Amino acid sequence: MSEITFDWLPYWWWPFLFILLAGWLPTDLWRYLGVISSGTISDKSVAIQLVRAIATALVAAVIARLVLYPTGSLALIPDAARIGAMVGGFLAYFLIARSIVLGIVVAEIILLAGAWWVGLL
């Protein structure tokens, strides 16, 4: 028996159906359920606070992974520049204007300076 692979079916539309069923539908199903139920759940409820905490923890984990264990071109930038960019962006956000855009711009400037320092730019 042959294995089922991405090219298993000879039809041109099979990869698109696969993407629809495996990628888009499971993700958007939860988004639509969130939109539908958003009017009935209080912002102060324990369930919403739990969801916010989990979402924030996931974003923090992804950022920590990118900074501490990078892959690709980001791995060529020194650790000090990556960590400095994260800390600098965080401090710029809190100390200057509480602007997310400003924090991102400061972090990018520090990161680009680190890339320039090692000769990537």
Of 64 and 11, which is predicted with more confidence? 64
100-121 pLDDT tens trace = 999 999 999 999 999 999 988 8
- What span, in angstroms and rounded, lies between the C-alpha atoms of 45 and 50? 9
Tell me what percent of the chain is helix, strand and coil, each rounded to the nearest 5: 75, 0, 25
Any idea where the domains of the chain sit in the sequence?
1-40, 43-69, 71-121
- What span, in angstroms and rounded, lies between the C-alpha atoms of 116 and 114? 5
- What span, in angstroms and rounded, lies between the C-alpha atoms of 5 and 14? 11
35-77 pLDDT tens trace = 888 788 888 889 889 988 999 999 999 999 999 999 998 999 9
- What span, in angstroms and rounded, lies between the C-alpha atoms of 90 and 106? 9
* pLDDT of res. 2: 63
Closest C-alpha among 34, 85, 81 to residue 55: 34
Of 84 and 19, which is predicted with more confidence? 84
- What span, in angstroms and rounded, lies between the C-alpha atoms of 110 and 83? 10
Of 56 and 27, which is predicted with more confidence? 56
- For residue 73, what are its two tokens? 């071109």
Q: What is the mean pLDDT of residues 12-25?
A: 82
Q: Which residues of 41-80 are buried (b: 16+ CB within 10 A; e: fewer)?
A: eeeeeeeeeeeeeeeeeeeeeeeeeebeeeeeeeeebeee
* pLDDT of res. 48: 84
